[in-house]
Amino acid sequence: MIAIHYDCDPGQDDVIAIMYVLGSGKVDVQSLSIVGGNADVKQCARNAQQILDITGFSHIPVYVGAARPLARPLVSLPEVFGESGMDGAGYLPDPSTPPEEENAVDFMLKGTTPKVWVATGPLTNMALALQKNPQLAQHIEKLIVMGGCVYPEPIHGQLGNYKVPGTEGFAEYNFAVDPEAARIVFESGIKDITLIGVDITRTVLFNHKIEKALRENKKACAVLAADILSTVGPEDHQDYADCKDFPEDPVRGMHDVVAIAYLTDPELFQSEMLPLRIITEGPPYVAGQLLIDEERPDHPAVRVVTDMDRTKFLEKLIRNLNTLP
C-alpha cells in the first residue's frame, strides 16, 4: 500500500477522486487537508467528511486550511459546481465527526505526514507551509498535482483548443485561482513532481454508458458518483456537445479523479519531463498559465502527463467505485 497525504477542495470531481482512491485497495489515505476552491473551505471540509462517512472511512482525519488564495479573492464558480461545490449529491447526512482542531498548514509543518502527497485543488495550503518552512520540500518525496494546462492546442485531436470562455487565457482553474501558490510549490525544490493538466483530464469523458454501469449494482457510493457526474453545468454541456472523438454521448470531463489514478495505476499514463514556468501576472486565466520554458532549462523539470489509456481508466473507475458500500 502507498501511504499518502491528500490536499483537496471537495468539490464534485474531488469527491469522486476520494471514492476512487479509497476503492482502489492500493492506497492508505492517512490524512486530508482542505483548501478553499470549489466552495468555501468549511463547506469543502463538510463535503469531504460526508464522503468519508458514506465510504466507511470516517477515521481519516480532515484538517481545514486556507480559506482564500495568497493574494487574491477566492473564485469558487458556483454556477459550475453549485453553492455546495457538490451539486447532484442530493441530501447527505451531517458528518459524524467534526474536522480536526489543528489547522491544515500547521499539521503539514509537523513533518509527520507520509512522504507522498497528492493535490487536486488550489495549492494555497502547500505554499503557506513551504513559505513558513522551506525544508518541507525535502520531506515530500513525490507530489502529484492536478492543475495547469501545458498544451492548450490539441495534441491528440480531442475537443479542440482549450481556452477559458470570455478571457484571454488558458490557465486551468486550480492554478488560476492561486497562481502565486502554484509558483511557490513548483519552485520549492520538491524533487519529484508529476503534473496532470486539464489538457489531459478534459479528454476523459463521463458518458451515459458509464453512468449505467455505476448504477447497475445499486451500490450507494457508485450511485452517488453517477448522480454527481451526471449533473452538468451549461459550460460543460456546451464544451462537449459537438465532440466528434467520443461518439458515446459525452456528458462531462473528469479531472481530479484522473490525477489520483496516476497514483494508483501509473502504467496507464505516458509522460515527459519539461521545464515549466508559471505566469503570475496578468488578467484572470492569464495569470496561472504554464509555459514550457526551453530558453530557461534551469526551471524546475516537471513530469508532465501527455497521454493515457482512457478505456482502461474508465474500467477501473467503475470497478473501484463498485467495491465501496
300 secondary structure, DSSP code: P
Element (H, E) at 239: helix 234-241
d(CA 2, CA 270): 21
Residue 323, CB-side half-sphere exposure with 13 Å CA sphere: 13
C-alpha cell at 111: 513533518
β-sheet bridge partners, residue 117:
5, 143
β-sheet bridge partners, residue 29:
4
Q: CB–CB of 207/160 below 8 Å?
A: no
pTM assigned to the model: 0.91
Q: CB–CB of 321/219 below 8 Å?
A: yes
Q: In CATH, what is the architecture of 2-323? A: Alpha-Beta Complex (3.90)
Supply the pLDDT for residue 301.
Answer: 84
Supply the pLDDT for residue 80.
Answer: 61
- Give catalytic status of residue 255 as yes or no: yes
Buried b / exposed e over 55-73, threshold 16 CB at 10 Å, is beebebebbbbbebbbebe
d(CA 11, CA 9): 6
DSSP 129-182: HHHH-TTHHHH-SEEEEE---S--S-SSSSSS----TTSS----HHHHH-HHHH
pLDDT one-digit tens code per residue, 50-90: 999 999 999 999 999 999 999 999 987 666 666 665 665 66
Q: Among positive and negative, which fits the CA dihedral 31, 36, 42, 46?
A: negative
C-alpha cell at 105: 498548514
d(CA 269, CA 279): 26
Q: Among positive and negative, which fits the CA dihedral 105, 132, 66, 13?
A: negative
β-sheet bridge partners, residue 46:
none
Sequence spans of domains, the chain: 2-323
Element (H, E) at 63: strand 62-64
Q: CB–CB of 62/45 below 8 Å?
A: yes
CA distances (Å), origin 106, targets 41, 131, 283: 16, 12, 32
Supply the pLDDT for residue 315.
Answer: 96
Q: Is 199 helix (H, G, I), strand (E, B) or coil?
A: helix
C-alpha cell at 230: 451526471
CA distances (Å), origin 315, targets 197, 233, 310, 311: 21, 25, 9, 6
In the set 59, 208, 237, 255, the catalytic residue is: 255
Q: CB–CB of 67/76 below 8 Å?
A: no
Residues of the chain falling short of pLDDT 70: 77-91, 153-168, 232-252, 296-300
DSSP 95-132: PSSPPPSS-HHHHHHTT-S-SEEEE-S-SHHHHHHHHH
Element (H, E) at 229: helix 220-229
284 secondary structure, DSSP code: B
